[in-house]
Amino acid sequence: MTEPIQETKELYGKTHYGSGGPGHTLRFANCSPSGDFLHEEHIMNKEQMMVELGSIGEDLVADLYRRQGSEVALSENKYDSVKDMLVDGQTCEVKTQMPYFLKKMFTIKVDQYFKCMNADKLIWVETPSKHNEYRIDIYESPQRGMREFRKYKAQGRDMYGMNFCDTTLIDSLEGSIEAIRMMKLTNSDMSVVNSLHVN
């Protein structure tokens, strides 16, 4: 049984969410004028949210390369240990995240190091936040063989980070429905989310 919603933003006619407590369950629901829930649309735990966030990032990167005229084939296996997609026959790994702003790095877990070092293309999708004025920014890492990661510890576990200055901005999206979806999945301030205008 899931925990009850602890907090909702009372704006009639829009979709909102609340924290599900210790299990990190989020519920998306519509509210009636009285504030009662009309129906529950979706329930996701933290792991499912991260998978969904990654899928949005991969779709954005695939769309970017297709617009550039490249042939893109997304991996059909979400546990693919080599790549997330092929771009003109080259392996491409996509990491969608809110970076470690304090250290000015994009980060990965230790078990992702080999995959990120060996993919032909390594792309970072920065989720919307106050740090990038609520855009989605897409960055490209140096080519394979030229990448550098720095090892550090976070909450007692080893992590790897790539400095912002080692990456190149290749696309930036403002006012997109994907930005709103990402912000809902990353516990963003809903007052900001509801104020955004989709182009």
Q: Taking the complete model, does pTM exceed 0.85, yes or no? A: no
The strand pairing partners of 139, in sequence order, are 124, 169
Torsion, CA 116, CA 117, CA 122, CA 126, rounded to 10: 60
115, 121 contact by CB (below 8 A): no
55-108 pLDDT, tens digit per residue, is 999 999 999 999 999 999 999 887 788 889 999 999 999 999 999 999 999 999
Give the model's pLDDT for residue 9: 35
Task: List CB contacts of 97: < 8 A, sequence separation 6 or more.
Answer: 106, 107, 124, 125, 126, 127
Note the pLDDT tens digit of each residue in 137-158.
Answer: 999 999 999 999 999 999 899 9
How many Cβ atoms are within 10 Å of 46's Cβ, its own excluded?
A: 14
Q: Which is nearest to 170 in space by CA: 125, 127, 133, 132?
A: 125
Average pLDDT score over residue span 107-130: 96
121-126/90-97 β-pairing: parallel
- Give the three-class secondary structure for 131: helix
Cα 104–Cα 177–Cα 64 angle in degrees, nearest 5: 65
Tell me the pLDDT tens digit for each residue of 1-57. Answer: 333 333 333 333 333 333 333 344 444 444 444 444 334 445 678 888 999 999 999
* pLDDT value of position 195: 64
- Per-residue pLDDT tens for 182-198? 998 886 666 666 666 66
**CB contact at 8 A, 124 and 164:** no
Q: What one-letter code names the amino acid at 180? A: I
**Domains within the chain, CATH numbers bracketed:** 1-44 (no CATH), 47-178 (3.40.1350)
Unique residue bearing structure tokens 């293309």: 121
Query: What is residue 47's predicted lDDT score, i.e. its pLDDT?
Result: 86
